[in-house]
Amino acid sequence: MNSFLKWLEEKMMPVVVKVGNQRHVSAMKDGFIAAMPFMIIGSIMLILAFPPFPADTTNFIGRAWYDFANTHFDALMIPYQMTMQIMVLFIATAIGYTLAKSYDLNPLSGGLLSLMAFLLVGAQAVNGALPTTYMDGKGVFTAILTSFYSIELMRFLKKRNITIKMPDGVPPAIAASFEALIPVFLTVATLYPISLLVQHLSGYSIPQLVMEAFKPLVAGVSTLPGILFAVFLAHILWFGGIHGASIVGSVLAPFYLTNLTTNQELLQAGQPLTAIFTEPFWAFYIVLGGSGATFALTCLYLRSKSSHLKSIGKVAILPAIFNINEPIIFGSPVVMNPLLGIPFILAPMVNATIAYFVLRLDLVSKVVALPPWTTPAPIGAMWAANWNVGAAILVVLLFFVSGAVYYPFFKLYEKQLVEEEKSNLSEVEETGISA
């Protein structure tokens, strides 16, 4: 174990920290975070438009909801169409803004340049209208690539002083506009011909080809081995003191959105949902209570014989309800503590396995909405699954499962701390007598 901890600290952690701090990964993460409010509101409107009740329901609330949604369906869907169905526009702009800012370029120009770059290849006008086919989750990978390209081109030009400079007396906003002229021109001059050439040679648009290229990767990440690997990686990083959820989550975000979009399109088409691995699946099933699925551990702390663990439990229980568990991770501590590190990694992997098969067997509805990850797990799971009660039942089951995984390790750690506390108390009493 000591050798493993040394390898983790000296070899693996520096690499992971470097990847996590890499500006393109950070820009991608910030881009998805910036788009989150729009996606949450869009998800709410989709649920309002598709009530979780059959057409012949006799339930009073269900009947009223169904009739209201059926009467006002088009009006309810407009906010969804202006948020979730064009989410890539928000994501591309935010990625460009963040990446340009990291290079000390004009962030507003960078965001707008990234937006234009995506539209050039992903939404070329047809009969005077912009198609939205690839403005939802299907265009995420294309948006990431075009945003990176356009900002790197902007940086290249700026670094080599290939720009239009205005006199000092010109207002900054006007100077920034002229400075962006050459990057805009060269982005159009490169991406648009490439897009036309690809369509001419293959008969497919760039977003179509990108989706085909990423399809095996999306499918691989969405398998149980792919999910377990992501869970293991995130938690081994946490064990080493690095925010594993942030690093792994930024990489998984495009896959989450692609799968969520798939389920939302199937819901609108009235077909069975197929995608399992989404952000709510991670937040409410795999890591309920926070990374490591520590909500059950927090409850165990509340009844602990160790005054240290009991005090941590009292402090941590309220944040844990909202899936925030830094008090547990750093207060216990879990970091570099093999006795708690083992169940911290194991519990979410067990939860992932159970939840995967439960959803695959259609015992619980799959995810169609995107609640905030801070929503208490039973409510968040039902919300994500279009208010399917089975989702809340699954959360309760996983709570007891993760508690069973933690219990033997908790008791061993508790015994160790109780002995230390007794020893410390004895030393204090002896010191007092001697004085």
List the helix and strand counts (H, then E) for the chain: 20, 0
- CA 367 to each of CA 73, 274, 370: distance values in angstroms, whole numbers, following the listed order: 21, 9, 8
Spatial separation of the C-alpha atoms in residues 84 and 87, rounded to whole Å: 5
**184 token code pair:** 């805009």
Residue 166's region, left for phi above 0, alpha for psi from -120 to 50, else beta, is: beta
Residues 6+ apart with CB under 8 A from 378: 391, 392, 395, 396
Per-residue pLDDT of the chain (435 residues; tens, 9 = 90+): 566 656 666 666 676 667 667 889 889 888 888 988 998 899 889 889 988 888 888 888 889 998 999 999 999 999 999 998 899 999 999 999 999 999 999 999 999 999 999 999 988 878 888 888 889 888 889 999 999 999 999 999 999 999 888 887 788 888 888 888 999 999 999 999 999 999 889 888 899 898 888 888 888 888 999 999 999 989 988 887 777 888 888 888 889 999 999 999 999 999 999 999 999 999 999 999 999 999 999 999 999 999 999 999 999 999 999 998 888 988 888 887 888 888 999 999 999 999 999 999 999 999 999 998 889 999 999 999 999 999 999 999 999 999 999 999 999 999 989 988 888 776 656 665 555
Annotated domain spans of the chain: 24-207, 223-431
What whole-number distance in Å separates Cα of residue 157 and Cα of residue 55? Answer: 59
Task: Give me the torsion for CA of 169, 182, 135, 229, rounded to 10°.
Answer: -100
Residues contacting residue 333 through CB under 8 Å, at least 6 positions apart: 340
pTM of the model: 0.81
CA 196 to chain centre: 33
Helices of type H across 270-337: 279-280, 295-302, 307-321, 326-331
